[in-house]
Amino acid sequence: MWKKSLCLLIPCVLIAYYCYAPIPHEIEQHWELMMIWSFMRIQMHIAPLFEMLGFRPFPLLEILVVPPTSDENVTVTDTLFNNVPVRVFVPKQKSSTLRRAVFYIHGGGWVTGSAAWDPYDELGRWMVERLDAVVVSTDYRLSPQYHFPTQFEDVYDALRWFLRKKVLAEYGVDPSRICIAGDSAGGNLVAAVNQKLLNDPEIKIKVKIQSLIYPVLQALDMDLPSHRENIHMVIVEKEHLVEFWSRYFTSDKALLEAMVANQHTPVESSHLFKFVNWSTLLPERFKKGHVYTTPIHGPSELAKKYPGFLDVRASPLLANDSILRRLPLTHILTCQYDVVRDDGLMYLSRLRAAGVRVVHEHVEDGFHGILSFGSSLINFRAGKREVNKYLKWLKENL
């Protein structure tokens, strides 16, 4: 009898482990979110097995890929911009004037994601229909096969190609109405490429708006208040965030272990902590009585082997004020129940202090990835609401 009970108990425990999540009561549709979260957790746990077998770490997510299908409103094509794959959405209706444009960078922790995923494909179509915009949704090579700075360079190469006058004219784009936008790791790349554009003598086009949607912006301090509060939050737990960061730079477990302990930054780089010091950069309401602890310094050898985490192209929060003050109108979206919430809030503080015009939307009942949850495939009410607000703001300001 006890063997039968044990056989029943084990699967019940496993189901409870994968399905349960400490979802705050402010977030609606608990059960739907828990089911999606359980699928994602399974993906995370079986990813190492697929890697050992020589496959991409998240093959089950390939079910999200949709072909480039045109309809009565939009022409959709997959093409290459400077050898980088992009999906381009162009309105079918003829226009007597040049159109606005959005260059979009998908998220996925630099390890997964695609412009061909259904939520990103649908977002591109919505931007065409509601903004009458040309939309370029770019891909980039992913870790663990490729590490930093490959992802940054791919996106930057595609963007530079798009910003050429000849290409903008081909797509009927108004050079004065261009937005670079992205979510999560894509938000990181948005911030990084915009900073790089400022000192590129070959780029004459000035971007009008940069839009960072729940961006991850620094790899120095892995002990922010949002890390503590949302350590086991749905969609991205702290352990996943640290692993994504580590994989961005290397497959060497030594860096992962040091980042988990928050002991990876060498003493000779301690001056950089002033750029990510949450005790001075976060608004009071987000500190919530947390006590700031200066991270313990790590071995210099680690930073010498993998200097990427100290590179401003990977951690845009490390940029000097002389760079920040030259940035365009910036839109930042943060979510209360998001492990990377404080990265966006600190960038907000630094940009405003540098004199940059910043529009901030904080979603009190939001979690990481909420805009993608507004797609028809997932159909979360809060996600739909935030997508509508976001597109309305873009239409009014771009």
Residue with tokens 């030259």: 326
- pLDDT for 15 equals 46
| pLDDT for position 33 | 80
Q: Confirm whether 372 is a catalytic residue.
A: no
* Active-site annotation holder among 338, 342, 343, 375: 338
Of the residues 137, 143, 184, 375, only one is catalytic, namely 184
Ramachandran bin of 113, using left for φ above 0, alpha for ψ from -120 to 50, beta for the remaining angles: left
What pLDDT was estimated at residue 27? 85
DSSP, collapsed to helix, strand or coil, labels residue 360 as strand
The residue annotated as part of the active site, out of 147, 264, 368, 375, is 368
* pLDDT score of 50: 63
* Whether 376 is catalytic: no
At residue 37, the pLDDT reads 72
Task: List the structure tokens of 172.
Answer: 């009927």
Contact 104, 87 (CB under 8 A): no
The residues spanned by each domain of the chain are 1-53, 71-219+311-397
DSSP label at residue 261 = T
Position 221 scores a pLDDT of: 97
Does domain 71-219+311-397 fall into CATH 3.40.50.1820? yes
Residues of the chain with pLDDT under 50: 4-18
Whole-angstrom Cα distance, residue 25 to residue 5? 34
3-state helix, strand, coil in the chain (%, to 5): 45, 15, 35
* Backbone dihedral angles phi then psi of residue 302, each to the nearest 5 degrees: -65, -45
